Amino acid sequence: MTGSNKGSAGLTALVGQPLGSPTLDGVTTVGVLALQGDVREHLAALSDCGVRAVPVRRPIELAAVDALVLPGGESTTMSRLLETFELLEPVRARIADGMPTYGSCAGMILLAREVMGGRADQRQLGGLDVVVRRNAFGRQVDSFETDLSLVGLAGGPVHAVFIRAPWVESVGPDVEVLATVPRQPGAGAAEGRIVAVRQGMVLATAFHPELTGDGRVHRLFCDLVRGGDRALNTATG
């Protein structure tokens, strides 16, 4: 499920590869931040896309990947662990240098420019010029499910599961809105809220595609990783 397990010598050889380039054996490698959250589910979904999927817990492991997934979990815990494992600044630098990055739920929160309802000591990774509201859908017992039309996603609506999820309050001029909550009974205050966005090589959803068995969002991200910005532009054009 997690792909090949390289030794430290192999990882050392990959340090210094140009950011965003395929790893030395030509296989695209996508990491999943493995500090907390839905790590195994993302690794499985990425492996089904035909990429090498590996957990990332250390800076040397981050240096060995072409792209990174920030999983669902608890954003304040993940923020603290990023500092503890000395990954906060390296991840920030990779994202700023154009590394393709996908965040689901808590991952979306970490990528946002600003968080409403977050803790004062919460640290942001940046990458998305958006303002998000943490726990916008309420407590875990208030989890919400719906079918969404997502720009660039073939095959019809995607079933979206929101668990203590954020939504996007506002977006900057370079952010593309990919999905909003449709009008339907039970949507309440979530109706019309932005729940999927993209800015350049950074993709984020407020929902958890790794939990539904529908691999299309992960395939969309892997197409972005393999084909660069043009891949998603083609899909959405």
What is the pLDDT confidence band of residue 228, given thresholds at 50, 70 and 90?
Answer: low
CA 183 to chain centre: 25
**Side-chain half-sphere of 137: how many Cα atoms within 13 Å?**
28
Question: In this structure, what DSSP letter does residue 48 have?
Answer: T
In a domain, 1, yes or no: no
Q: Give me the pLDDT at residue 230, please.
A: 55
Query: What predicted TM-score, i.e. pTM, was given to this entire model?
Result: 0.84
Task: Say if residue 21's pLDDT is above 90.
Answer: no
| Residue range 90-109: mean pLDDT, rounded | 96
pLDDT over 80 at 141, yes or no: no
Over residues 213-217, mean pLDDT: 93
In a domain, 2, yes or no: no
For 97, 115, 169, the CA distances from 32, given in Å and listed in that order, are: 18, 22, 26
DSSP class of 104 = E
65/6: higher pLDDT: 65
- The answer to whether residue 232 scores a pLDDT higher than 60 is no
Active-site residue numbers? 105, 208, 210
pLDDT per residue as tens digits for the range 148-207? 999 989 899 999 988 888 899 999 999 999 999 987 766 667 778 999 999 999 999 999
Residue 68 inside a domain? The answer is yes
Instruction: List Cβ neighbours of 9 (8 Å cut-off, separation of 6 or more).
Output: none
Residue 125's contacts (CB-CB under 8 Å, 6 or more residues apart) are 70, 82, 88, 91, 92, 95, 110, 111
Q: 134: pLDDT confidence band, cut at 50, 70 and 90? A: confident
- Contacts of residue 4, defined as CB under 8 A and 6 or more positions apart, other chains included, come to 52, 54
Residue 108: the pLDDT is 95
Per the domain annotation, does 106 fall within a domain? yes
Q: What are phi and psi for residue 34, nearest 5 degrees? A: -110, 45
> pLDDT at residue 46 above 70?
yes
**Cα R_g (the chain), whole angstroms:** 17
Closest CA to 26 of 66, 62, 59: 66
For residue 225, the enclosing domain spans 8-236
* Domain membership flag for residue 191: yes
Output the CA angle 234-24-231, nearest 5 degrees: 5
Q: Report the number of distinct structural domains present in the chain.
A: 1
Residue 165 belongs to some domain of the structure: yes
- CB 94 within 8 Å of CB 62: yes
CATH label of the domain that carries residue 61: 3.40.50.880
